[in-house]
Amino acid sequence: MQVLHVCSELFPLLKTGGLADVVGALPAAQIADGTDTRVLIPAFPAVRKGIADAKVVAELQTFAGFVRLHFGYFNGVGIYMIESTGLYDRPGSPYHDENQFAYTDNYLRFALLGWIGCEMACGLDSHWRPDIVHAHDWHAGLTCAYLEARGRPAKSVFTVHNLAYQGLFYAQHMDEIQLPWSFFNMHGLEFHGQISYLKAGLFYADHVTAVSPTYAHEITLPEFGNGMEALLAQRLQEGRLSGILNGVDPEIWDPAQDLLLSARYNRDTLDAKAENKRQLQIAMGLKVDDKAPVFAVVSRLTRQKGLDLVLEALPGLLAQGGQLVLLGAGDAELQQGFLAAAAEHPGQVGVQIGYHEAFSHRIMGGADVIMVPSRFEPCGLTQLYALKYGTLPLVRRTGGLADTVNDSSLENLADGIASGFCFEDSNAWSLLRAIRRAFVLWSRPSLWRYVQRQAMGMDFSWQVAAQSYRELYQRLM
């Protein structure tokens, strides 16, 4: 069985979010599981630079101009790159310019990605042809529509990483992207008078997956469905929607092997974690105090992530003797709010605006608690990394957070499954109650250590996800 992933990001070459982590790890896990897996991605500069030995396997004229298809290997995975100089050879983000404005030709850039994904299923590379084309998020959504238009030369899977991003473009582009106008209706890719690249994936894929079982259910409800809930509820009823949980790449996230940490440790040598905490406190200008629990945020700064609630709850957290470390960037108002808190509470709050992969590892290794109070969270990877590092997640019970973190309730402690702290309602009061319960557990060091060991023993490997996807592909075949 041959599988082609169609996507717009690939860790560590190009990353703006969790999608890159998934596509950077899942194909390798699938290859290890016995599935012949490759990846198709635009030849963005960072991708081209990271795969220097690529060879041209096809040249063709398309609706978007002349295109070369390159093929090379990265970390043992075969990567196809679409070279279209005018469309992809741009610095910075794959999606927007230096001023954060979306490129006006994104409709064409990502239509071409989907079109080439379909051409691969039709035999564009004469030496390798996929049985399954697996498209990721709106950027690759048109892949499924093109496959439909070409008579479904391969089975298709579409994975929703975040339903909030829908890839909406003017209907006038239908001719230019060479899709039949019969596809432009509510039983197709039309969404409120526009083309929705996301809906193209949801409607035309043979099977839709979400990145956690709870999120797969949530997106069938108006609160989380972003206008797609009726279509998704229909897919669920037909047995064409399911949730497969993301995993963690042990080559990258393992406190026993992580060279970015000051001290490495495992479940049995947790005392070594204290040195990472001390170094983190020094680096962030906090008072060095092993008795003060360090709460951390590593996140995009958006309302979706519930970080306005963290600002609201912060006085209560500090009043109980806690410290806060934050690494992230995003909403200007939230950035200013956290910078002001750091200025107001020197020695207790440390803030670094921006994102640095290496420093995120140091935070995972040094913090005591990671806060992920999201309003919605398709899967979430931060809490999975935290669990591996014995840094207890404090999360809102939604999406993948609900599937991966077990609250340290008396019952869960007794059953040996407690791994963090959960709260229900998206408000600061509910968050503060969870923070308070974290302090109660912190005051019992032996119990805290017990929960850390439980958390570090949980299995969220990509091998589990790879097996689930293989079973799905086999059902489709």
Point out the annotated binding site for ADP-alpha-D-glucose: 15
Using alpha carbons only, how large is the chain's radius of gyration in Å? 23
Cβ atoms within 10 Å, residue 340: 13
The one-letter code for the residue type at 475 is: R
CA separation, residue 166 to residues 95, 200, 366, 384, 405 (Å): 13, 10, 36, 26, 28
Closest CA to 69 of 36, 40, 46: 40
Distance CA 257, CA 79 (A): 27
Residue 123 backbone zone (phi > 0: left; psi -120 to 50: alpha; other: beta) = left
**Dihedral sign from CA coordinates of 170, 171, 174, 179:** positive
DSSP-based three-state secondary structure for 320: coil
Query: Which segments of 271-407 are extended strands (E)?
Result: 294-301, 323-330, 349-353, 369-372, 392-396
Judge whether 294 and 327 are in contact, CB under 8 Å.
no
Residues annotated within the binding site are: 15
Cβ atoms within 10 Å, residue 67: 21
Q: How many CA atoms lie within 13 A of 453 on its CB side?
A: 13
Please report which residue ranges of 284-381 form alpha helices under DSSP H: 307-319, 332-344, 357-366
The one-letter code for the residue type at 402 is: A
Judge whether 272 and 449 are in contact, CB under 8 Å.
no
